[in-house]
């Protein structure tokens, strides 16, 4: 058994690995960037080593520093977690060359499955069904355009080296293809250092089904059943569950055996996931489920598999890397109940899911579910790393029970002042179609109007805020709100300020208890600043002025499409900002002229920075 390991990662997955390692009596070493020195994973490890500045490229992607730290601290093995260097074949080889154990997939398997086009060709040779598309070496724009036309729209452009939803664009018609290709290539080059792409037929009623596989060095390969990851936004997973709704036993057998076959085709060792795309227009059918790609690492959503199988997948990884056989044979594995996972992100759904950064002055998680988090109250969410605050994982005897627990958990989250998607998650899980299992990858886009909270407080929020400012708990709740009105019942209105704007609220009987803290109330996963109306406060957005193009988030200006003096039309793209490897395009709000440029390409900007000024046409 490995007796010590260095974790080449941070945050939630680092803490997750530490938990299992401690239970097994294994010494843990954390590595961390300069700004991560006070994070929980650093404190919980037996030893910690600083490896560089905040930028991931100079710290968590710095292979030299990580291997040097492992050797210096006497680590026997390196666990890469997920993300960063976890699927870097060169790093895996360097770890082995340094005399250390790599707790991950073999470098040859990483290479074989790392490039989506090569992986699909290998799967075709192995008899695994793949999605129709173009995998050719010719990357000329005209050739790709002709292939897309031949496949038939809609098509999906995907970065060959992509992952995590980055470097991926849906194209609905030929007129959109050139711009989508350019954007995809730019994002792929920035994220993966490789701008090559492949094309796939876009499935109109797609389900994202993936199978957890595990191999050992003794030639054994098993699956731990499927997960459904269809609830996605911009190709990034939001809610995952296991097993997949509507999956019958015969279809499960075919898909899971195809996954095992795919793993055997590359002599796979360790934890991996085979991802499939299913055309669910007629339910889940074995003949309409195709291989998409393989993730040669532990997945973010592995807890749902742990919940239904009763196994610790990190423990399995350590055992396999130590040279031991898989703990169980296929016939010893079975599905127990239902599990769901929701990813709680630091982002604001009401403003297009823009990232939200800052210190977590309040962070409270609910009871009754598993919470895997990389942060604690008082920590900071920075713009340098993934904005995930936590994973909320529920388990129940039935899908309905698991969904009910997860929805309640999401609605009970309390975070301030960083904004989160908690209310969005709760609304998604509570939606009748989700409850019925009618999910596909377009679910969120179709129902976004209902799922995304309004920027204005609802009636329940206003009632709760009004009650919260009433003096002296236990006093007559109407005492400060009642007033004489001519020819009408006494007024029970009270003035309250919520989210910076004033409101008059008619108090109702039977108010519900709501969590509050220092002028902030928490309700249904949302957080609202509240208080008495300030004297002379007019409310509204009078502080905003037309024509200023303002950075909606901190990030880097990666493209400027206009210059000072240019005429622009409403909706015309003006500037692209990148934050956390995701692009945000800002467009002209009206026809006009660029009167002043206030930023240069490649500049770092903070939230609220004025990037350029527009003047309307006379």
**Catalytic center residues:** 297
Please, which residues have CB within 8 angstroms of residue 565's CB and are 6 or more apart in sequence?
A: 593, 594
Please, which residues have CB within 8 angstroms of residue 137's CB and are 6 or more apart in sequence?
A: none
Of 148, 237, 244, the residue nearest 198 (C-alpha): 148
The single-letter DSSP state of residue 577 is E
How would DSSP label each residue in 261-302?
Answer: HHHHHTT--EEEEEEEEEETBTB--GGGEEEEEEE-S--TTH
E strand residue ranges, 172-217:
197-201, 206-215
CA distance from start to end of the chain: 76
Query: Tokens in use for 15?
Result: 């803490």
Dmax over CA atoms of the chain, in Å, equals 89
Asked if residue 87 lies in contact with residue 134, where contact means CB atoms within 8 angstroms, the answer is no
List Cα–Cα distances, 367 to 370, 375, 412, in angstroms: 8, 17, 9
Decide the pairing of beta strands 197-201 and 155-163: antiparallel
Q: Is the peptide bond before 602 cis (omega within 30 degrees of 0)?
A: no
- Phi and psi for 240 in degrees, rounded to 5? -120, 150
CA atoms within 13 Å, Cβ hemisphere of 566: 14
**Residues paired with 392 in a beta bridge:** 342, 371
Query: Alpha helix (H) ranges present in 208-356?
Result: 249-265, 302-309, 313-321
Query: Tokens in use for 7?
Result: 């974790």
Which SS3 state, helix, strand or coil, does residue 360 take?
coil
Residue with tokens 């192995």: 126
CB burial readout 499-508, b (16+ within 10 A) else e: beeebebebe
Measured in whole angstroms, how far is the alpha carbon of residue 386 from the centre of its chain? 8
CA atoms within 13 Å, Cβ hemisphere of 368: 15
**Residues paired with 527 in a beta bridge:** 522
Of 16, 565, 594, the residue nearest 298 (C-alpha): 16
């Amino acid at each position: 058994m490995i007796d010590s390991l260095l974790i080449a990662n941070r945050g939630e997955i680092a803490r997750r690995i530490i938990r299992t390692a401690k239970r097994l009596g294994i010494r843990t070493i954390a590595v961390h960037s300069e700004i991560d020195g006070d994070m929980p994973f650093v404190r919980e490890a037996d030893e910690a080593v600083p490896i560089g500045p905040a930028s991931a490229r100079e710290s968590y992607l710095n292979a030299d520093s990580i291997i040097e730290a492992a050797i210096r601290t006497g680590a026997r093995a390196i666990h890469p977690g997920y993300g960063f260097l976890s699927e870097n074949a060169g790093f895996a080889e360097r770890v082995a060359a340094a005399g250390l154990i790599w707790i991950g997939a073999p470098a040859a398997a990483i290479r074989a499955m790392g490039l989506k086009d090569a992986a699909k060709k290998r799967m075709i040779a192995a008899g695994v069904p793949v999605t129709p598309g173009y995998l050719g070496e010719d990357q000329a724009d005209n050739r790709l355009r002709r292939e897309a036309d031949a496949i038939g729209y809609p098509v999906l452009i995907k970065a060959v080296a992509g992952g995590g939803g980055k470097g991926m664009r849906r194209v609905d018609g030929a007129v959109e293809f050139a711009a989508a290709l350019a954007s995809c290539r730019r994002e792929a080059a920035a994220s993966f250092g490789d701008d090559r792409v492949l094309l796939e037929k876009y499935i109109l009623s797609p389900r994202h089904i993936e199978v957890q596989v595990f191999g050992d060095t003794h030639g054994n390969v098993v699956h731990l059943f499927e997960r459904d990851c269809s609830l996605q936004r911009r190709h990034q997973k939001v809610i995952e569950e296991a097993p997949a709704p509507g999956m019958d036993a015969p279809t499960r057998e075919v898909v899971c055996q195809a996954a095992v076959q795919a793993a055997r085709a590359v002599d796979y060792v360790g934890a991996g996931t085979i991802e499939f795309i299913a055309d669910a227009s007629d339910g889940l059918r074995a003949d309409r489920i195709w291989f998409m790609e393989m993730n040669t690492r532990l997945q973010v959503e592995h807890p749902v598999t742990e919940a239904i199988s009763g196994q610790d997948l990190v423990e399995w990884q350590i055992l396999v890397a130590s040279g031991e056989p898989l703990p169980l044979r296929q016939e010893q594995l079975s599905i127990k109940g239902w599990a769901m996972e929701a990813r709680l992100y630091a982002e604001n759904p009401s403003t297009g899911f823009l990232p939200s950064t800052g210190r977590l002055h309040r962070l409270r998680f609910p009871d009754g579910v598993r919470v895997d988090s990389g942060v604690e109250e008082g920590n900071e969410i920075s713009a340098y790393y993934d904005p995930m605050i936590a994973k909320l994982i529920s388990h129940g005897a039935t899908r309905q029970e698991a969904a009910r627990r997860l929805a309640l958990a999401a609605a009970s989250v309390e975070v301030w002042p960083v904004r989160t998607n908690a209310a969005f998650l709760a609304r998604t899980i509570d939606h009748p179609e989700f409850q019925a299992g009618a999910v596909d990858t377009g679910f969120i886009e179709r129902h976004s109007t209902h799922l995304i909270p309004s920027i204005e407080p609802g009636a329940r929020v206003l009632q709760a805020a009004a009650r919260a400012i009433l003096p002296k708990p236990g006093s007559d709740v109407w005492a400060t709100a009642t007033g004489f009105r001519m020819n009408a019942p006494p007024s029970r209105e009270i003035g309250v300020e919520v989210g910076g704007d004033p409101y008059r609220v008619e108090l109702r009987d039977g108010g519900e208890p709501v969590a509050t803290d220092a002028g902030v109330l928490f309700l249904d996963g949302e957080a609202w600043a509240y208080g008495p109306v300030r004297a002379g406060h007019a409310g509204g957005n009078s502080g905003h002025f037309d024509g200023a193009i303002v950075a909606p988030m901190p990030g880097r200006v990666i493209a400027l499409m206009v210059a000072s003096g240019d005429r622009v039309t409403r909706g015309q793209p003006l500037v692209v900002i990148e934050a956390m490897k995701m692009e945000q395009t800002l467009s002209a709000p009206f026809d006009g002229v660029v009167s002043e440029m206030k930023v240069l390409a490649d500049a770092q900007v903070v939230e609220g920075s004025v990037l350029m000024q527009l003047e309307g046409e006379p």
